[in-house]
Amino acid sequence: MAPPRRPGAGAALLLQQQLVAAAVLLLTTTVAASPRVPAVIVFGDSTVDTGNNNVIPTPLRADFPPYGRDMPGGPRATGRFGNGRLPPDLISEALGLPPLVPAYLDPAYGIDDFARGVCFASAGTGIDNATASVLEVEYYAEYQRRLRARLGRSRAAAVIRDALHVVSIGTNDFLENYFLLATGRFAQFTVDEFEDFLVAGAREFLARIHRLGARRVTFAGLAAIGCLPLERTTNALRGGGCVEEYNEVARRYNAKLQDMVRGLRAEFPKLKLAYISVYESFLNLITDPAKFGLENVEEGCCATGKFEMGFMCNDDAPLTCDDADKFLFWDAFHPTEKVNRLMANHTLEVCYQEGVL
Terminal Cα-to-Cα distance of the chain (whole angstroms): 53
**CB-based contacts of 319: which residues, under 8 Å, 6+ apart?**
303, 304, 305
Contact segment (CB under 6 A) with ligand NAG among 202-210, 213-221, 254-262, 345-353 equals 345-353
Looking at 45, 106, 277, 334, which residue is catalytic? 334
Q: How far is the CB of 87 from ligand NAG (least distance, A)?
A: 12
**Closer residue to ligand NAG in complex, CB, 233/345:** 345
Identity of the residue, 114 or 282, whose beta carbon is nearer to ligand NAG in the bound complex? 282
Determine, following the binding rule CB under 6 A, whether residue 234 of this chain makes contact with ligand NAG: no
DSSP H/E element including 85: none
Taking CB under 6 A as the rule, does residue 349 contact ligand NAG? yes
Which listed residue (70, 89, 173, 331) is catalytic?
331
Cis peptide bond upstream of 66, omega within 30: yes
Q: How far is the CB of 26 from ligand NAG (least distance, A)?
A: 21
Question: Is residue 304 involved in binding ligand NAG (CB under 6 A)?
Answer: no
Among 144, 234, 296, 345, binds ligand NAG (CB under 6 A): 345
Q: Which amino acid is at 208?
A: R
Cα 223 to Cα 346: distance, rounded to the nearest angstrom = 14
Is 284 a binding residue for ligand NAG by CB under 6 A? The answer is no
Q: Which range in 22-30, 113-121, 243-251, 343-351 contacts ligand NAG by CB under 6 A? A: 343-351
| Least distance in angstroms from the C-beta of 356 to ligand NAG | 12
CB-based contacts of 121: which residues, under 8 Å, 6+ apart?
Answer: 42, 43, 44, 45, 46, 47, 48, 49, 50, 52, 136, 168, 169
CB 17 within 8 A of CB 140: no
Residue 331 annotated among the catalytic residues of the structure: yes
Q: From the CB of 57, what's the least distance to ligand NAG, in Å?
A: 18
Q: Is 168 a catalytic residue?
A: no
Q: What is the dihedral of CA 205, 210, 214, 220, to 10 degrees?
A: 40
| Cβ closest to ligand NAG, residue 55 vs residue 94 | 94
Reading phi first (left if > 0) and then psi (alpha if -120 to 50, else beta), residue 301 is in: alpha
Tell me which of 34, 63, 65, 130 binds ligand NAG, using CB under 6 A. 130
Return d(Cα 357, Cα 350) in angstroms, integer.
9
- For residue 105, the minimal CB distance to ligand NAG (Å) is 20
Q: Choose, from 45, 46, 70, 128, the residue flagged as catalytic.
A: 46
CB proximity list for 303: less than 8 A, separation 6 or greater:
312, 313, 317, 318, 319, 320, 331
| Smallest distance from ligand NAG to CB 247, Å | 26
Q: Which residues contact 334 (CB under 8 A, 6 or more apart)?
A: 46, 47, 81, 82, 300, 309
The answer to whether the CB of 301 falls within 8 A of the CB of 324 is yes
Name residues whose C-beta falls within 8 Å of residue 50's C-beta, 6 or more positions apart in sequence: 42, 78, 79, 80, 86, 88, 89, 100, 101, 102, 103, 119, 121
Options 41-49, 210-218, 242-250, 341-349: segment touching ligand NAG (CB under 6 A): 341-349
Rounded to an integer, what distance in angstroms lies between the CA atom of residue 201 and that of residue 204? Answer: 5
Binding mask 16-45 for ligand NAG (x = CB under 6 A): ------------------------------
348 contributes a contact to ligand NAG by CB under 6 A: yes
Q: Is 94 in the site for ligand NAG (CB under 6 A)?
A: yes
Per rule CB under 6 A, is residue 129 in the interface with ligand NAG? Answer: yes
Binding interface with ligand NAG (CB under 6 A): 94, 129-130, 345, 348-349
The catalytic residues are 46, 331, 334
